[in-house]
Chains A and B, each alone.
Chain A
Amino acid sequence: MFLINCPYCGERDQSEFSCGGEAHIVRPKQPTELSDDQWAEYLFMRKNIKGVQFERWNHAHGCRKWFNMVRDTSNDKIHAVYKMGEKPPVE
């Protein structure tokens, strides 16, 4: 449980948000060209990092906007919040 600084609404309780999982997984440009292995990689395989992870969040019970977050999954500490389309911060 932690507080999240929504880039649109400010600091709110984590229970207002829903997590959309690992960020920066690019949707395949030509889905028809993909092999089964590439589909599996895109759909299912995850880094699931213990440590600093980039992820997508949605302020579901607030502004309902999506944004990105850098969070350490070993202690739930949030390092950065940035808007969709913005470049991820370099640690």
Chain B
Amino acid sequence: MKNKYSIFSLIKNAFSQHENWKQAWGDPEPKREYEAIIIGGGGHGLATAYYLAKKHNMRNIAVLEKGWIGGGNTGRNTTIIRSNYLWDASAGLYDHALKIWENLSQELNYNIMFSQRGVMNLAHNLQDVRDLKRRTHANRLNGIDAVWLNTDQVKEFCPIINTSPDIRYPVLGGTLQRRAGTARHDAVAWGYARGADEMGVDIIQNCEVKGIKRNGDKVEGVETSKGFIKTKKIGVVAAGHSSVIANMAGIKLPLESKPLQALVSEPVKPIIDTVVMSNAVHAYVSQSDKGELVIGAGTDAYVSYTQRGSHDVVEGTLKAILELYPIFSRMKMLRQWGGIVDICPDASPIISKTNIKGLYFNCGWGTGGFKATPGSGDLFAHTIANDEPHKLNAAFNLNRFVSGDLVDEHGAAAVAH
């Protein structure tokens, strides 16, 4: 690695007041032609480019980003990583990602601040208890760590939770995945960008895709705000804007784009050292290393590309947070924002070829894409390079909406958005 980050480089740069660090990735102008083009410079897109270069030796590739890298949903999520999904296909997909997360800082030589602080999912009624117990059994059969905690154990694991039986939705227990946790979202995009750039990938920011050029049933290139770029393979990783790109190519996707909101509080001293999610009352909270509470709210129930979302959704989430954590009643919220998430009818992603040769889609991650970033990039790169899905993403093909072989994680995922 040209500029390996280490304790020595840190000390060396301290002598020059940290003013001489080299740029971590370049700012190239697009070439006239590439072997493959990735549309979307978020975590998933940059990871795709990184693994295309690293594992499949495709170096003449570009990532096109209409804004700045990591400025979309990568910079807007609540950074939670877990793999405790019910169905075998999902368990395989998300645990593949979790295993990559565990060594990602070392692999990228970039501190992504991966913290396996555990994710706890609460049960508030008898059906929750049954569903979550069933899920822990399914997880363990798939080799994913999961345990069931009763109410006392929940209280012991996270003492600030109100476990009184008198509250509207009492805590009847919960599941815990100890290998789950959080990572620094920006660092993930930056680490992958630096790694990809070093292998010769062109990361082109402020370059909006305006059209997909097709010749019959194969792609020929993309029209962009920086001119036409020729290519035979296009990987679309545009999250909430996937349908917009699909419309350019003349195809339809089974997606609806909706605002998903999150908010952070003022920073306080460490008070919650894990991630607690609650499906039934729709509230989840963790604490960032800066000390802010990071709170995830729900999606608006209508299509919108405005990155804000409705006030009543935030209000509902905060009501639930306050009932579960009365200690937070005087906390002030500092910032609130929305990201546009592309939701599939079965709440599972699409990592797939299309009927158009050379056009691939990685979309439909909906409300939970961040956790899958490394695995998604790895499997999508495999799909693009070989023109065939990897066995771990074979179930997540576009054709499942025709065959009916859906991966229905809607109620089965730990949080039903």
Interface residues of A (CB under 8 A from B): 1, 14-15, 18-19, 21, 36-37, 39-41, 43-50, 53, 55, 73-76
Contact = CB atoms under 8 A, between A and B. Distances in A.
A47 B254 CA distance: 8
B291 interface: no
B401 A19 contact: no
Interface string B240-275: 010110010000111111000000000000000000
Contact of A14 (B253, B257, B310): B310
Interface of B: 241, 243-244, 247, 252-257, 301-306, 309-312, 342, 345, 401-404
Contacts, number: 68
28 contacts: A1-B309, A1-B311, A19-B301, A36-B402, A39-B402, A43-B345, A43-B401, A44-B254, A45-B252, A45-B253, A45-B254, A46-B255, A46-B256, A47-B243, A48-B243, A48-B255, A48-B257, A48-B303, A49-B243, A49-B303, A50-B244, A50-B257, A50-B305, A53-B303, A73-B305, A73-B306, A75-B306, A76-B306
A74 B244 CA distance: 12
Contact of B306 (A48, A53, A74): A74
Given A47-B247, A49-B303, 8 more contacts: A15-B310, A18-B301, A19-B303, A45-B254, A48-B342, A50-B244, A55-B303, A73-B306
* B256, B257, B302, B305: residue with the most chain A Cβ atoms closer than 10 Å: B302
A41 B252 contact: yes
A12 to B, nearest CB: 13
Given A18-B301, A75-B306, A48 B401 contact: no
Nearest to A2: B310
Given A1-B311, A41-B252, A73-B304, A46 B243 contact: yes
Nearest to B315: A15
Nearest to B308: A1
Nearest to B242: A48
Contacts of B305: 50, 73-74
